[in-house]
Structure 1
Amino acid sequence: MKIFVATSNDHKVEEIRRILEDFQIEIEKSPKKIFVEENGETFLENSVKKAYYYGNILGTPVVADDSGLVIDYLGGFPGVKSARFMENRPYKERMIEILRLMKMAEDRSAKFVCVASYYNPKTSFLISVEGVIEGEISYEVKGEKGFGYDPIFIPEGYKETFGELGQKVKDEISHRSRAFKKLFSIITKIGDILELGDDRK
């Protein structure tokens, strides 16, 4: 089974590819860069919107996700605006700004959320699932591994940020890992019932 990812983010494609290794699925970045205005109010809206846009334009099954960092002290911010917060600025600067906003925070609880969607334009079949990893925001940017906000997020049960823990641990417990593994566990179980045709090959 070959599936395109509705993104132009190389880091995300590689992460999804590693996550789905055990499912024997060929994951590829979209051959076209397609602009999708991510103006939904929820991760679900944006994930589904990207899946529909890419799937219908490419004419082939795609997976899409919308993910973000939800910080309790900031009322859920940056949330669905995680990628657009201080857009076009390096993530190091964005993280420093978030830490500044949380300078007086005693409650540093946060979570990473991912809603992953699979859409097959040939059958109009759509399915979306959510993955969440709870944790807290560190007091400083720590670690050079990962990408995005990884260096300020400490997952529950650990003392280091995702930026310090590295790829192997993140691939096992991250919000994206939980969402995509759940998504493809469902797809592989119900594929025959839904008669997904060539997508099962």
Structure 2
Amino acid sequence: MQLCFATNNAHKLTEIKAILGDNFELKTLQEIGCNEELPETTDTIEGNSAQKAEYVWEHYSVNCFADDSGLEIEALNGAPGVHSAYYSGERNHARNIERVLSELANESNRKARFKTVITLTLAGKSHSFEGIVEGSIIDSPRGTDGFGYDPIFVPEGGNRTFAEMTLDEKGKISHRSRAFAKLVAFLQSYSGINS
């Protein structure tokens, strides 16, 4: 089945190709001729995910899925949440991490969770899939793999950050892989769509 993954994030693309395997032919935005920045103007992770997938369908008539993810920290009332990518005021992983650690400096509650919502738009109809991984925020970054907040997030029951794990290890437990497992299960059981 051919699908467009509505992202220009090379890290996400690599991660998702590893999860999806050979059953699906993934097209990038560039490959379908979409060079504009997709809208992300809602105030929720769910809303941004739907907005991107629906935009691609409406403007390119291509079956598409889009994801939006965020880090939700309990002591910060769910922040950075939908603003995770630009939490420091710019799209800069190191500065975003600095801001989070600064805001948690005197906080004993370090509970956090990563949440991904995927919206799949097939023939104009949208379907939503959510993946969550609970964990906590550590005091300083550890690890060199991954991206975003991976160096400060330790999943529940573990002792290594996402950035200390291999792509394969992270892929087995991450919020994104959990949401994508639901997407893949749906796609495999879905009939009535031409590949």
Q: What's the TM-score, normalizing by structure 2? A: 0.93
- Structure 2: how far apart are the matches of 1:39 and 1:126? 18
- 2:53 corresponding residue in structure 1: 51
What CA deviation, in whole Å up to 9, does each residue of 1:117-136 have, x standing for no partner?
1112xx32210110000000
- 2:35 corresponding residue in structure 1: 33
- Structure 2: how far apart are the matches of 1:102 and 1:91? 17
Preserved CA contact (<8 Å) 2:133 2:155: yes
- Structure 2: how far apart are the matches of 1:71 and 1:7? 25
Aligned residue for 1:20, secondary structure, equals helix
- 1:135 corresponding residue in structure 2: 135
Q: 1:36 offset after TM fit, Å?
A: 2.8
Gaps of 5+ in 1: none
Preserved CA contact (<8 Å) 2:85 2:96: no
- Structure 2: how far apart are the matches of 1:44 and 1:63? 13
Aligned residue for 2:86, secondary structure, equals coil
Written as runs of structure 1 = structure 2, the 5 A alignment for 1:1-201 is: 1-21=1-21, 24-31=23-30, 32-120=34-122, 123-189=123-189, 191-192=190-191, 195-196=192-193, 198=194, 201=195
Gaps of 5+ in 2: none
Preserved CA contact (<8 Å) 1:96 1:141: no
Q: 1:24 offset after TM fit, Å?
A: 1.0
- Structure 1: how far apart are the matches of 2:181 and 2:187? 10
Identity, in percent, stands at 36
Runs ≥4 residues deviating over 4 A:
none
Aligned residue for 2:144, secondary structure, equals coil
Alignment coverage as a number of residue pairs: 192
- The code of the aligned residue for 1:30 comes to L
